[in-house]
Amino acid sequence: MDDAVTRSYEKQAESLMGALAGTDELRAQAIKDFAAQGFPHAKAEDWRYSDLRALRAEAFEPATHAGEKPEIPAAMTECAARFVFVNGRFSESRSDMGDLWQAASVRPLANHFMANPDRATELVRGRDGVGLLNTALVKDGMVISIPAGVEIDDPVEIIHIMTNAADCAAHTRHIVELGEGASAHIVERFIGDDLAYWTNSVLQARVAEKAVLHHTRLQEEGMNALHTSKTHVNVDADGQYHATCLSLGGKMARFEAHVRMMVDGANATVDGVALTGTGQSHDTLTHISHSMPHTTSDQIFRTVADTRGKSSFQGKVTVEKDAQKVEADQSFKALVFDRTAEANAKPELEIFADDVKCSHGATVGELDEKAIFYLTSRGIDPKTARQMLVEAFTAEALERVENDDIRTAMTAKVNAWMAARASK
C-alpha cells in the first residue's frame, strides 16, 4: 500500500486523540496495527470477492459537516426515535428523540465515554484493516442501552446520510445493549449522493439473557460510494438476535455480520437480500459462532445480479468444541440475469463437536422460464411476471422483518429495483 495513504490515516488518528475519553490507547494500537497490515489484499481469503483498490490508492479525508441541508428520508413506520448522522456526525437538530429517552439510556459516543471512560475496552477492536481503521478513526456514534425488562415496541431508526463528501469517509460506531428480557428493533439506514465517498460503519450489540434484538439494515448508498460495515453481536442465554439486510446501493458494498452464541439457548437469524445492478459489487460475509451447546441459528440469503453486477456471499458457521446439540442452517440462492453478471458463494461449515445438525444449501441459476411462461399464459405481461418471481424469490429472506410496515417498504424497494430494469 501507498505509504502516503498510511501516513494520512496516522495523521487523522493523531488528530482524534482525546476526542473520546478513555479510547486513546485503543486508538493508538489500532492505527499501529493498521499501519502494519494495511487494507486486506484481494488474496486475503475473506476478501477474495471484494476489490479494495480504491481504498489502497488514496486516503479518504475525514468528512466535514455538510454545507447544505440534506433531505431526511421519511420514516417507514412509526418510530420510537430517529437518530440522524450526517457525514458521520450526529446531528441532534435533525434527529427526533421521541420518548425513547424516557425508557432507555440514549447518548452519543462521546458522552457515553465521558461518563464511563473505563468502558472503552468494550469496543470491538477489529481484525482486518477496515475494522482497525474504524477503531482508529471513530469519532461519533450512538449508544443505546435498553434496561432489563424494557420492551421498546416501535423501531428505532439510525440514519446515515453522506452528502457533499467526495473522497471523504465516515467511521461511525454504534453500541446497542439490551438488558435481561429487554427487546428493541434497530433500523439502520444508509443513504448518500452520487459522489465517491466511503462509509465505514460498525455496530456492536450485546443481547442479554432472554432479550430480543431485531436489527434491520437498509443500504441505499450512492452508486459511486464505497460501503463497508460490520456488525458484532454477542447473544446470551435464551437471547435472540434477528437481522435482515437489504443491500441496494454502493459501487462496492461489503457487509459483515459476526454473531457469537455465548450461552445455552441463544438463537440468531441472519437474513439478507442484495440486488446488484450495473457495475456494482455486493459482498456479504457472515460468521455465526456457536460457542455453547443448545444454540441455534438460521440464515437465508437471496441475491440478484444484473448486468455487470457481482454479488457474493460468504457464510461461515463455526461450532466449537463441546458445543453439542447445536442446530445451524443456511440457505443461499442467487439469480444471475445475464452473462456479464456474476454470483459467488462460499458457504462454510467448521465443526468441532459431534452431536450437531448443521446444513447449508446453495443454488445459482436464472429465473425459471417455465414459471414465466405459466404467468404469461395467464395474461400477465412478461415484465410483471419477472417482477413477481423476483419478489417471491426475495420474500423468504425478508419474511423475518418483524415490523409489517418496514417489510412492506422493503418489498416495495425490491419491486422498484425490478421495475427500473425494463428489459429484464
Q: Which residues bind other proteins (CB under 8 A)?
A: 45, 321-322, 324, 334-366
- Count the neighbouring beta carbons within 10 Å of the beta carbon of residue 175: 20
Least distance from other proteins to the Cβ atom of residue 61, Å: 35
Among the listed residues 339, 268, 270, 342, the one whose alpha carbon sits nearest the alpha carbon of residue 303: 342
* CB of 363 closer than 8 Å to CB of 334: yes
Q: How far is CA 195 from the centre of its chain?
A: 21
The CA R_g of the chain, rounded to the nearest whole Å, is 21
H helices of 63-108, in order, are 100-103
Quote the least distance from Cβ 99 to other proteins, whole Å: 47
In the complex, least distance from residue 43 CB atom to other proteins, rounded to whole angstroms: 10
In whole angstroms, the minimum distance from the beta carbon of 205 to other proteins comes to 28
**Residue whose C-alpha cell is 457469537:** 260
- Which residue's CB is nearer to other proteins, number 76 or number 300? 300
Q: DSSP state, 19? A: S
Are 325 and 357 a contacting pair, CB within 8 Å? no
Q: Which is nearer to other proteins, 338 or 399 (CB)?
A: 338
391 with 418: CB under 8 angstroms?
yes
C-alpha cell at 28: 493508538
Nearer to other proteins, 40 or 181 (CB): 40
Of the two residues 66 and 351, which places its CB atom closer to other proteins in the complex?
351
Minimum CB distance to other proteins smaller for 38 or for 347: 347
CA distances from 370 to 12, 150, 339 (A): 57, 50, 20
Shortest approach of other proteins to residue 356 CB, angstroms?
A: 6
Cα 235 to Cα 49: distance, rounded to the nearest angstrom: 29
- Our CB check for other proteins shows the closer of 246 and 335 to be 335
Separation between Cα atoms, residue 38 and residue 130, nearest integer Å = 8
Q: Least Å distance between CB 326 and other proteins? A: 10
CB 338 within 8 A of CB 366: no
User: In whole angstroms, how close is the CB of 219 to other proteins at the nearest point?
Assistant: 23
356: helix, strand or coil:
coil
Q: Which three cell numbers stand for residue 393?
A: 424469490
Smallest gap, in angstroms, from Cβ of residue 47 to other proteins?
14
Q: Report the residue number, 78 or 348, with the smaller CB distance to other proteins.
A: 348
Pairing verdict, β 183-192 and 105-108: unpaired
Closer Cβ to other proteins, 203 or 343, answer by number: 343
